[in-house]
Structure 1
Amino acid sequence: MEGGGTRAQVFGTQTFGSGYPGISGRGVANRGFPFYFWPLSFGVGTGTGAYLRSDTEYGHADNTSRPGGVMTSASFQSNSTNGTVFRVLADTTTTQYLITDIFANCSGSLVSSAGATMPIAYNDNATDLPQPEQIVQYYRASSVALSLDGYNNIAIFLADGAPDIPLPSGIDTTLLDCLNQTIGLATPLIGGATSQWAAIPNNMGLLSLMLLGWFLAAFV
């Protein structure tokens, strides 16, 4: 299956393999392409984390056959005192689109301009950032991801169903929510999908989930 995914179906979760319309569970093997774009490729994962190894089916991050071009990342640093750094990981075309839209929507929370931020080629066989344990949200059938530097969600390497590690306190949640909503709104869609600028649900922000995680962690 290629294409047909809609704007309202773009949001996934923290799980690699989320964001596929009507499909749940870890991993991306043999799932088709509901948004045309291929899922991200990670070169890590053994044992219970083997589902992360998508390079055997979709090629490595530098596979030039990948729709939208090779995988690239872009970093976005908060202008708050803590200097939180988030990263977007996607194909080159998507990353370029998102850089422009993120700075248009979130510039008040960022330290640099769109002209100073460029896509950086991603090497899935090295320690390039982001690593899969740093991902806080997947989108568009796990073909786009948002990560947080310093976050270490070891639950992705444990048995399916292990609870995600709560996001750290003190990060710039205003920027996080702006990035999350902008990516959901601006991520390019192809084929039967609705317009790039179609409305998205306004209840998909990460902030409420983060606050719940912090609250529970404080009493454990």
Structure 2
Amino acid sequence: SGSSHTVTEYNSGGGKIITIPASQLFAGRNSGGGTRTQIWGTRTYGSGYPGFYDRGVADRPFPFYFWPVVWGPDVHNGPKTAYLNGTNEYGNPDNTTRPGGPQFTAAWQSNSSTAQPTTLRVIADNTTVLSLMAAVSANCSAYLLPSSFTTEDNATNFALPFAGSGIQPEETVQYYRASSVALTLDGYNNSAVFAAENSTADTPLPQGIDMVMFNCVNETIGSAVPLVDA
């Protein structure tokens, strides 16, 4: 959504706000200005946008320059879930014009012998996923199953294209950076995704999952997710 920018992990963000010129995609929308303290969303698609409190990503600016993740054109068709389909604006998950590259996903699996099986997956553009894989490996490896002990689909050092992955929006436990990054938990099913807006509380996380690993991954993404330099 505009000219090239320098993107860095662990920085404070806050790149200059510009209006996308008429000759470019999304002309007239603002881009930039988002800071590290503003990246936290909720479990709702469309969260993590400074100043926006309703769900969905239609007609939104780009406060962090990155585009929101899209769930694909076939996700849960119905009037209450139309907000999940952002492909008309932002293309399919494998769209190569997406800033940072097509959507990819990577997984982290808990090594706890006492907690319930806990597998987290991050979804974002390819550049962001690769960056977060390195950050989580550096910060949270004590809580993760080594990739040699996992299937390829769950490998902690293996990024896969998001398209065709089967990951569903109701598995999302956290959005970040204007919904351009999502963290999902295998087996989580948030019924609020399918309900009328603000009518239903989020489904609680499953009992017994590895919250130490969960919190490490979640906090690392919040601290390290790449932002455009000021």
Q: TM-score range, shorter-chain basis?
A: 0.7 to 0.9
Q: In the alignment, which of 5, 8, 12 is matched to residue 41 of structure 2? A: 12
Deviation at 1:83, TM superposition (A): 2.9
- The question of 1:96 aligning with 2:130 is answered yes
Q: Which amino acid aligns with 2:157?
A: T
Deviation at 1:191, TM superposition (A): 4.8
Consecutive aligned runs of 4 or more in structure 1 exceeding 2 Å deviation: 113-116
Q: Which amino acid aligns with 1:104?
A: A
- Asked whether the 8 Å contact 1:18–1:139 carries over to 2, the reply is yes
- The question of 1:70 aligning with 2:70 is answered no
Deviation at 1:116, TM superposition (A): 5.5
Deviations 1:81-134 (A, max 9, x none): 2331000000000000000000100001001159961210011xx4x2421000
- Asked whether the 8 Å contact 1:40–1:142 carries over to 2, the reply is yes
Of 99-108 and 112-121, more deviation after overlay is shown by: 112-121
Asked which structure has the greater CA Rg, the reply is: 2
Match in the other structure for 2:160: 120
Distance 2:119 2:186 in 1: 6
Match in the other structure for 1:163: 201
Of 154-163 and 10-19, more deviation after overlay is shown by: 154-163
Provide the secondary structure at the position in 1 that maps to 2:174.
strand
Number of equivalent positions: 189
TM-score of the two chains, using structure 2 as the length reference = 0.79
- Asked whether the 8 Å contact 1:89–1:130 carries over to 2, the reply is no
Q: Relative to total residues, which structure has the larger helix share, 1 or 2?
A: 1
- The question of 1:180 aligning with 2:221 is answered no
Provide the secondary structure at the position in 2 that maps to 1:41.
coil
Q: Which amino acid aligns with 2:109?
A: Q
Structure 1: tracts of 5 or more residues without a match: 193-220
Please provide the CA RMSD for this pair.
Answer: 1.5
Deviation at 1:60, TM superposition (A): 0.3
Deviation at 1:47, TM superposition (A): 1.1
C-alpha distance 108-144 of structure 1, shift in aligned 2 (>3 A): same
Provide the secondary structure at the position in 2 that maps to 1:17.
coil
TM-score of the two chains, using structure 1 as the length reference = 0.83
